[in-house]
Amino acid sequence: MFSGVVRSRATTLLVVLVVLGVAGWTGARVGAGAWAVLRADMPVLTSADIEAAAGEGIMVGLLGGFRAVTADFLWVRANAVWEEQDIPGTQTLIKLVTAVDSRPLLFWINGSRMIGYDMPVWRIDAAAREGDAMPAVVQARVYAEQARAAISLLERARVYHPEEALLVIEIANLRHRKLGDLAGAAELYRQAARLPGAPYYAARIHAEMLRQLGRERDAWAWLVEVHRGLPREDPMAMAEIVLGRIRELEERLHLTEGERYAPRAERLPVGGQ
């Protein structure tokens, strides 16, 4: 039988702590493989992020394993201030959301659209409302400024997602539509089309841009190469349309029968058609 002294809570607590220590040592080995994967998934917190998070009172959410939900909440808030055309508010929240959770592309892409496409309009409208309508030159400068800000956000996204075609396409669109840089956009579309999991349309748009740049021969060669790699059975690949474009370009380039592209399926006639 234990005497009253030995039975004290302190002894019990000590035993508990020792057992937990042994369990911790064992657990670290049992869970090592899983933890390596999970830890690599967790975005690194910089001190700037922590400062911003502390200011927003979301520290517990961040540290308590509610990172994704915290980011989602902030994103919903970003959308709310966006509806009110609040430029500084929207900018701050986009920065915060992407710092809290850099993984979802949605935050980067939609954030860049808010900055690149919506904010210049808000600025111009606001100036007009204050009876201070901007001349076209100034408007163009506003558009360019916002587009560059959006692109720099997307460049930051690329640090976290270097292989993501959608980010490159988003940058290309801004260059093309807001900065009027068709050649730069075309090059970015080419890069995007070569990334794993890129949407099929990236390659088609690259060809279309080459055509607009007057490089029809290059466009034809590109499409031929693309068409060779397209799966015939996937309707989203639109192999028929690509082939149609190739034929159009061949007409315009006046290619001879021998020079024309002959896809494999056409060389082997299918019975019955």
Partner 1 sequence: MSAPGTVSFSLRRIGVIAELTVLEAVRQRLFGVLLVLAAGMIAGAQLLREFNFGSSELKFITDFGFGAVTLFGTILAVVTAAQLFFAEIENRTALTLLAKPVFRAEFVLGKFAGVAAVLALFVGVTTGVLVAVLWMREQSLMASVPEAFERGRLVQYGSVVAFGALQWLKFSVIAALTLVIAGFANTNLYSVVISFLVVLICHLQYLAHESWRRMASGVGRTAAMLLAAVFPNFQMFNVGDRVAAGQAIDPVVLGGSAAYGALYLAVFLALAVYVFRRREI
Partner 2 sequence: MSAVPPPAISVEGLTKDFLLSVRGYRVRAVDDLTLQVPAGQVFGLLGPNGSGKSTTIKVVLGLIEPTLGRTAIFGVRSAEVRSRLNVGYLPENPNFHRFLSGRELVTFYARVCGVDRARLRDRVDEVIEWVGLKDAASRRLSTYSKGMLQRIGLAQAVVHDPRLLILDEPTAGVDPVGSAEIGELILRLKAQGKTVVLSSHLLAQVEDLCDRIAILNRGRLVLEGGVDDLVTEKGRDALIVRGLDASALGDLRGWLDGRGAELVAVEKPRTTLDRIFREHVAERMQAADAPTAPGPGTEGRPR
What is the nearest approach in angstroms of partner 2 to the Cβ of residue 12?
13
CA 103 – CA 97 distance, rounded (Å): 10
- For the chain, how many residues are written? 273
| Selection from 246, 263, 264 nearest residue 255 by Cα | 246
Task: Choose between 75 and 220: whose C-beta lies nearer to partner 1.
Answer: 75
Task: Choose between 107 and 222: whose C-beta lies nearer to partner 1.
Answer: 107
Burial 70-105 (b: 16+ CB within 10 A, else e): bbbebbebbeebbeeeebeebbbbbbbbbbbbbbee
Member of 3, 47, 256, 273 binding partner 2 (CB under 8 A)? 3
H helix intervals, the chain:
9-30, 32-41, 47-56, 59-63, 67-83, 87-100, 105-113, 119-129, 136-160, 165-179, 182-194, 201-212, 216-229, 239-253, 264-267
Tell me how far CA of residue 32 lies from CA of 26, 41, 65, in angstroms.
10, 14, 19
Task: Choose between 124 and 238: whose C-beta lies nearer to partner 1.
Answer: 238
Cβ neighbourhood burial of 185 (10 Å; 0-12, 13-18, 19+):
buried
DSSP string, 215-244: -HHHHHHHHHHHHHHS-SS-GGG-HHHHHH
Residue 138 is given by DSSP the state H
**Residue 128 binding result from partner 2, partner 1, none, given CB thresholds of 5 to 8 Å by partner type:** none
CA 194 – CA 202 distance, rounded (Å): 9
Can residue 152 be called a binding residue for partner 1 (CB under 8 A)?
no
Member of 31, 55, 180, 231 binding partner 1 (CB under 8 A)? 31
Q: How many residues bind partner 2 (CB under 8 A)?
A: 6
Member of 54, 63, 138, 253 binding partner 1 (CB under 8 A)? 63
Member of 14, 26, 84, 125 binding partner 1 (CB under 8 A)? 26
**Residue 180 binding result from partner 2, partner 1, none, given CB thresholds of 5 to 8 Å by partner type:** none
Write the binding mask 111 to 150 for partner 2: x where contact by CB under 8 A, - elsewhere: ----------------------------------------
**Residue 1 binding result from partner 2, partner 1, none, given CB thresholds of 5 to 8 Å by partner type:** partner 2
Can residue 7 be called a binding residue for partner 2 (CB under 8 A)?
yes
Can residue 19 be called a binding residue for partner 1 (CB under 8 A)?
yes
**Residue 104 binding result from partner 2, partner 1, none, given CB thresholds of 5 to 8 Å by partner type:** partner 1
3-state secondary structure of 86: coil
Residue 117 is given by DSSP the state I
What is the nearest approach in angstroms of partner 1 to the Cβ of residue 111?
13
| Binding stretches for partner 1 (CB under 8 A) | 2, 7, 9, 12-13, 15-17, 19-21, 23-27, 30-35, 37-39, 41-42, 60, 63-69, 72, 76, 79, 101, 103-104, 106, 236
| Binding stretches for partner 2 (CB under 8 A) | 1-4, 7-8
